[in-house]
Amino acid sequence: MATVSIDRLTKTFPHATRPVLDHVSLEVADGEFLVLVGPSGCGKSTLLRLIAGLEDPTDGTISIDGAVVNDTPPKLRDIAMVFQNYALYPHMTVTENLGFSLRMSHTPHDRAREQVDEVAHVLALETLLDRKPAALSGGQRQRVAMGRAMVRHPKVLLMDEPLSNLDAKLRVAMRGELMRLHQRDATTTLYVTHDQVEAMTLGDRIAVLHDGRIQQVGTPQELYHHPVNVFVAGFIGSPA
Ligand code: ADP
Ligand code: MG
């Protein structure tokens, strides 16, 4: 059970003339898959980094299950993040990469092994466990990155354009994989993409970020058929 509530969240970087995020409010419901879209540079990654605790907000609050976590260190937030560039440990095998966070949290060895085996099975990584990242394809690396995030069964999963470095065919396959995993685990997920098709197929709801503000939040159908403004219409609305 996990909900994420963002209330009037504002982020202004030092020396910037205007905030990247300007009083952004957004709720991710328990078990929801919410997709965040918006043009390059609009603050999508910044929003995820704030939720993960990798940046400090200028103003506003971030709550998980109703408790404000602004001052909670990243490690204690029970959030896992998947980055666009995979960020695997190059000197570790797949098994070691998958188990790293479990070792850090002092999970007993047998239990850690079970959890690694389970996630390796789900993501079809069983035959790759002894390889290092350099010996994996892009799609395999990204599966390891996802496995590494999921292995702890975090309360909240944040994914920052996780498929954008993959070719089109693999992207479609991984999209199916993600949907299957979400149906299985129902982990509360905030997923960033600039791919409209990905947003429409994956999102229970879609939030559109532009000019520091959430322009609209709604189901794919709502945004497609009833975009609130020209920007949303241009981004995902119907051409009518
Ligand atoms: P997106 O992920 O939507 O492409 P980002 O969140 O990465 O956008 O960046 C939003 C804006 O904030 C950009 O103008 C970027 O240059 C700026 N920005 C991001 N991180 C920093 C930082 N650490 N210091 C200063 N400016 C930053
Ligand atoms: Mg980004």
Surrounding residues of ion ligand 2, Cβ less than 5 A? 45
Per-position DSSP letters for the chain, written without gaps between them: ---EEEEEEEE--TT-SS-SEEEEEEEE-TT-EEEEE--TTSSHHHHHHHHHTSS--SEEEEEETTEE-TTS-GGGG-EEEE-TT----TTS-HHHHHHHHHHHTT--HHHHHHHHHHHHHHTT-GGGTT--GGGS-HHHHHHHHHHHHHTT--SEEEEESTTTTS-HHHHHHHHHHHHHHHHHH--EEEEE-S-HHHHHHH-SEEEEEETTEEEEEE-HHHHHH--SSHHHHHHTS---
- Tell how far the Cα of 151 is from the centroid of ligand 2, in angstroms: 24
ipTM more than 0.95?
A: yes
Indicate whether residue 19 lines ligand 1 (CB < 6 A): no
- Interval 84-95: pLDDT, tens: 877 899 999 999
Indicate whether residue 41 lines ligand 1 (CB < 6 A): yes
| pLDDT the model gives residue 101 | 87
Indicate whether residue 46 lines ligand 1 (CB < 6 A): yes
The model's pTM is 0.93
Indicate whether residue 13 lines ligand 1 (CB < 6 A): yes
Q: For residue 32, which of 187, 200, 201, 218 has the smallest C-alpha distance?
A: 187
- Which parts of the chain register pLDDT below 70? 239-240
- Tell how far the Cα of 84 is from the centroid of ligand 1, in angstroms: 15
- Tell how far the Cα of 50 is from the centroid of ligand 2, in angstroms: 13
| pLDDT the model gives residue 84 | 81
- Interval 3-18: pLDDT, tens: 999 999 999 999 999 9
Ligand 1 pocket test, candidate residues 10, 11, 20, 48, most atoms within 8 A of CB: 20
- Tell how far the Cα of 45 is from the centroid of ligand 2, in angstroms: 4
